[in-house]
Amino acid sequence: MASIFTKIINGELPCYKVFEDDQSISFLALDQVTRGHTLVVPKAEVDHWVDVPEEIFLKVQSNAQKIAKAVQKYTEAPRILTATIGFEVPHFHLHLVPGKKLADLDFTKGKRLPAEEMEKIQKGIISFLKSE
């Protein structure tokens, strides 16, 4: 059975996409831990990050770095915290969480924002990606 991320990749479910290439996709997390919380997901459905083929893993990391720079510029956060958890969706994904302190990486703080706010964040991050 396809993961929720595979359904997003296949266009079966909507997302607030900020970036896509041939091997990965990046979109806003529905539950924003902090404003600008973004996911970077390989298109290949692999459950555990240690099993991701090296070429794809490196592409995800490279794209995450570019996207994190845009998220950081948009949010003005001093750091972009990263996490790979893997329990909530059986499809490797990297969390990019704007942070001012380690406590900002608390996933219990995740909350849904109105669509208008999500669209504003999405457009803001994309504008900084385009300026790179």
Question: What is the identity of the amino acid at 60?
Answer: V
- With cut-offs at 50, 70 and 90, classify the pLDDT of residue 88: confident
User: Residue 80: beta bridge partners?
Assistant: 98
Phi, then psi, of 55 in degrees rounded to 5: -60, -45
Q: Give the span between the Cα atoms of 97 and 86, in whole angstroms.
A: 16
Q: What's the pLDDT score for residue 1?
A: 74
pLDDT of residue 32: 98
Question: Domains of the chain by range and CATH?
Answer: 4-130 (3.30.428.10)
pLDDT (0 to 100) of residue 86:
81
Whole-structure pTM over 0.75, yes or no? yes
Q: Check if the beta carbon of residue 114 is closer than 8 Å to that of residue 71.
A: no
Extended strands (E) in 1-132 = 17-20, 24-28, 38-42, 79-83, 94-99
34-86 per-position pLDDT tens digit: 999 999 999 999 999 999 999 999 999 999 999 999 999 999 999 999 999 88
Separation of alpha carbons 110 and 9, rounded Å: 22
Query: Does pLDDT of 131 surpass 80?
Result: no
Q: What pLDDT digit, counting tens, does each position of 23-37 carry? A: 999 999 999 999 999
What are the residues facing 94 on neighbouring strands?
40
| Buried b or exposed e, range 1-38, using 16+ CB within 10 angstroms | eebebbebbeeeeebbebbeeebbbbbbbeebbbbbbb
